[in-house]
Structure 1
Amino acid sequence: MIAHLRGRLFSKQPGQAIVEAAGVGYDVTISVPTFTSLPAEGTEVSLHIHTQVREDLIALFGFFDLREKRLFERLITVSGVGPKLAVTILSGLDPDRMIAAIRAQDHATLTRIPGVGKKLAERLSLELRDKMEDMATAPAAAVVSAGPAADDVLSALTNLGYQRPAALKAIETVVEKDKALGEDFDQLFRAALKVIR
């Protein structure tokens, strides 16, 4: 089973990336958040992979963020949710909002995702509500502990298109090395940009 893939990003488009590793081009289905996180074509990329094997097909589903892969693997345990629909669901709502909606049984938010009707929203909440505890985050606390500039830097990075979990991790990483960075927006922003993935 392929669980991880590192190589040159041969090409990318919404929904698909081709990663060349050891002379082989792997066709990987990706979500919109993963697409927006990918580097430029021709550069090295690293993806977490879920491999689906059927009689007539071997399909690779790739995720820039490990948390997104874990969420995908929980979504496909729900009856009626195949890998393609799971990718659509991940593309329609960011992981934090989706986890919150499932845990709160917020069917109205879930039905805004293309392909998710009322019955499927109810099934997602019913089958996954208790399986989301370990995936829920407390982003506000993490940002507050990083210093007064952290909230503005997080907002700036997400406005630039970076995923919130990746932006949070970058901020925490640089503040861990130098606490003073949390006091200054410009310095923290530049430092976070250097380490964000």
Structure 2
Amino acid sequence: MIGQLNGLLISKQPPEILIDVQGVGYEVQMPMTCLYDLPDVGETVTVVTHFVVREDAQLLYGFNTFAERGLFRQLIKAQGVGPKLALTIMSGMTAQQFVAAVSHEDVTSLVKLPGVGRKTAERLVVEMRDRLQNWTSATPATDAAPIDFGDLAPTVERSSPRADAVGALMALGYKPAQAEKAVAAAVKASGDVGSEELIRTALKNM
């Protein structure tokens, strides 16, 4: 089980990042709400992880705090919620916002997320309410000792922020037309900004 990674942040291709840990590159998928808080490419990063093994793939999901990972693990226990939908839910709202939505039975906010219909939202409220009674966000990941990477320089494939933002929204479950429309509106509202800011704006306005 891989529970935590500490290494050099090589690239961000939302919702996926690449971390170099002593010469081994780990691809990690993260909720956008967690990815926003990462340092810049080329800096050391620590993420706590959840490892999923399937017949056709081995996948790592990363989070900034143990509480966020705990919420993810509770979500994938819910009926009809797999890792991909859990990632989408946690990308559309922060962990604190999700917990608040469940505690206030705010089905309206939940159904705005892609892949979450009214029945799924109502089931999430019922199933998650008791599980999240003692949930707390005050459990950050702790940075390990600094790693000396010597002359290792990160190499990142560059593409346009708009294309990256559209690709990220599609990876989170939005349809191509939805993603294009949302990102176009974000570009109009935000101007010349990076992909993460476009994604943040697009998700906020969905």
* TM superposition score normalised by structure 2: 0.64
Deviation at 1:42, TM superposition (A): 1.0
Structure number with the bigger relative contact order (C-alpha 8 A, sep ≥ 6) is 2
Structure with a larger share of its residues in helix: 1
**Residue number in structure 2 paired with 1:72:** 72
Deviation at 1:104, TM superposition (A): 2.1
**Residue number in structure 2 paired with 1:127:** 127
**Whole-Å separation in 2 of the counterparts to 1:23 and 1:8:** 10
Name which of structure 1's ranges 116-125 and 105-114 shifts more when overlaid on structure 2.
105-114
The one-letter amino acid of 2:52's match is Q
Q: Kindly report structure 1 stretches of 4+ aligned residues shifted beyond 2 Å.
A: none
**Residue number in structure 2 paired with 1:118:** 118
**Whole-Å separation in 1 of the counterparts to 2:65 and 2:137:** 14
**Deviation digits for residues 130-164 of structure 1, max 9, x if unmatched?**
011111579xxxxxxxxxxxxxxxxxxxxxxxxxx
**Residue number in structure 2 paired with 1:47:** 47
**Residue number in structure 2 paired with 1:87:** 87
**Deviation digits for residues 50-85 of structure 1, max 9, x if unmatched?**
000112211000011222111111100011111011
CA contact (8 A) 2:33 2:93 kept: no
Point out the structure with max Rg over C-alpha: 1
Specify the SS of the correspondent of 2:88.
helix
Specify the SS of the correspondent of 2:9.
strand
CA contact (8 A) 2:5 2:47 kept: yes
**Deviation digits for residues 13-70 of structure 1, max 9, x if unmatched?**
2200000002110000111111111101111100000000112211000011222111
Structure 1 segments unaligned to the other structure (5+ residues): 139-197
Deviation at 1:93, TM superposition (A): 1.1
**Whole-Å separation in 1 of the counterparts to 2:117 and 2:16:** 25
1:26 and 2:26 aligned = yes
CA contact (8 A) 1:4 1:48 kept: yes
* TM superposition score normalised by structure 1: 0.67
Superposed CA RMSD in Å reads 1.5
The within-5 A match list for 1:118-197 is 118-135=118-135
Aligned residues: 138
CA contact (8 A) 1:10 1:19 kept: yes
CA contact (8 A) 1:111 1:117 kept: yes
CA contact (8 A) 1:100 1:136 kept: no
